[in-house]
């Protein structure tokens, strides 16, 4: 069952370059300010209480990329004690070059090699998402 209020977020992955698209949260946010993170946010009425809709809307609002639900993959969900909210994580395959992306929220964004992303200053939950994703890629036998 999906709770009335939740967070849904995720990242884009380019399999050609083995890079994930992350964003740098600005200093105005309460949650993980000035930290590299996944894209996302809290659900809104228009999402119809469907987490994938929230993720798709957040990607559209934050970086202008239109995702189709059939191209988005569920990664995991759990209750975050730190933020007292249920959290849903997703990823989508995307190859949009950085110079074609327009950031509307946050301080910055960049495509980062998956291995490099795991050792840079990212939030704990983002790191857990990326480690899980890396393990899923390894299980599928895809190159890193």
The domain 6-140: what is its CATH number? Answer: 3.90.79.10
Confidence of residue 143 (pLDDT cuts 50, 70, 90): low
What whole-number distance in Å separates Cα of residue 72 and Cα of residue 135? 18
pLDDT digits (tens, 9 = 90+) for 69-118: 999 999 999 998 888 899 999 999 999 999 999 999 889 999 999 999 99
**Alpha helices, DSSP H, located in the chain:** 51-63, 114-117, 124-140
Contacts of 127 (CB under 8 A, 6+ apart): 118
What whole-number distance in Å separates Cα of residue 128 and Cα of residue 5? 22
Confidence of residue 142 (pLDDT cuts 50, 70, 90): low
């Amino acid at each position: 069952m999906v709770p009335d209020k939740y967070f849904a977020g995720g990242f884009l992955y380019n399999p050609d370059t083995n890079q994930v698209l992350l964003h740098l949260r600005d200093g105005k946010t309460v949650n993980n300010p000035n930290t590299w993170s996944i894209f996302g946010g809290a659900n809104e009425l228009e999402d119809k209480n469907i987490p994938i809709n929230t993720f798709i809307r957040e990607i559209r609002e934050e970086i202008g990329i239109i995702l189709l639900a059939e191209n988005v993959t569920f990664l995991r969900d759990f209750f975050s004690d730190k933020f007292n909210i249920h959290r849903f994580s997703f990823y989508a395959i995307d190859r949009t070059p950085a110079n074609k992306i327009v950031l509307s929220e946050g301080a910055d964004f960049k495509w980062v090699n998956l291995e490099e992303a795991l050792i840079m200053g990212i939030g704990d939950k983002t790191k857990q998402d990326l480690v899980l994703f890396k393990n899923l890629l390894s299980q599928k036998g895809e190159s890193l």
